[in-house]
Amino acid sequence: MIERVQGVTKGIRARKEASLDAAQQQGFVTRRDELRALRALLGKSCGRVTILRSRGVVRGLPPLDLDGLLNEVRSLHANFLQERGSIKEAAVGRQLGRVRDALSVIDKWLLDAWKEFATNNLPSVNESTLSLLNKVPGVEPKVSALHKAIDRAKIRAERLPESGEDIEAFNSSVAQVQQLWSSFGTDQIPADVLTFLRMATNSGAPLDTLTVSVRAWLEEHSLVEGFSVRPKSSVFRPL
């Protein structure tokens, strides 16, 4: 009877130990995968810094020592594998948390630099001008194509490039917008009219740009009602 009880007790203990070993093994695998993923993310961030610096997007140093962080995670990963996860869990967790926080800072720094670069390179196309041009017969397809090109460029401007090809894709989108925008000077829209429209729908056009021929074209296309004359605030002040 005693032997039977001892046998049952040993069986329970063995199952508990097996369960504990399985939990420890799963914990080791989870941490190992986290370290591996973090190494990959750091490597990607290093690559992004190199790419963006080579294209003149970023010029200064990252706000944190990216190479030092990568070496730290590599060392932690190697030690963790060598010790089979026996490194204190709390210590590993703290280090991983600190590196993740640093990654967030660096990624934001890169994204802010990229968005500033992209914004400075995106052509300035006034939506009011496009709305007016869209009313001109035969010009609608060009306006539609320009809208699509602008949308593509803006989408690429919001995404942090992963490679040099991504930056080239953005530059190509910008070039397409510039080409389409400059192509509006055709027989359908005389050059002096286009100049007036662009100026009038931005900061304002000088009165002498509203020539007889420009006014005649606006009247012909029923656009003259869309404009009004206002004095410059820097010259005339309200009484």
* pLDDT, tens digit, 9 for 90 and up, residues 208-224: 888 899 889 888 888 87
Average pLDDT estimate for 1-21: 51
Residue 188 clears pLDDT 80, i.e. is over it: no
Tokens of 149: 């090109």
pLDDT of 79 > 90? The answer is no
CA 194, 197, 201, 203 torsion: positive or negative? positive
Nearest CA to 51 out of 94, 135, 113 is that of 113
| 33-60 exposure pattern, b = at least 16 Cβ within 10 A, e = fewer | ebbeebbeebeebbebbebbeebebbee
Q: Are 111 and 160 in contact (CB under 8 A)?
A: yes
pLDDT of res. 238: 47
**pLDDT above 90 covers what percent of the chain?**
21
d(CA 73, CA 38): 8
Question: Judging by beta carbons within 10 Å of its beta carbon (0-12, 13-18, 19+), is residue 110 exposed, middle or buried?
Answer: buried
Over 60: is that where the pLDDT of 10 sits?
Answer: no
3-state helix, strand, coil in the chain (%, to 5): 70, 0, 30
Q: Which tens digit of pLDDT belongs to each residue from 143-163?
A: 899 999 999 999 999 999 989
Amino acid at 110: L
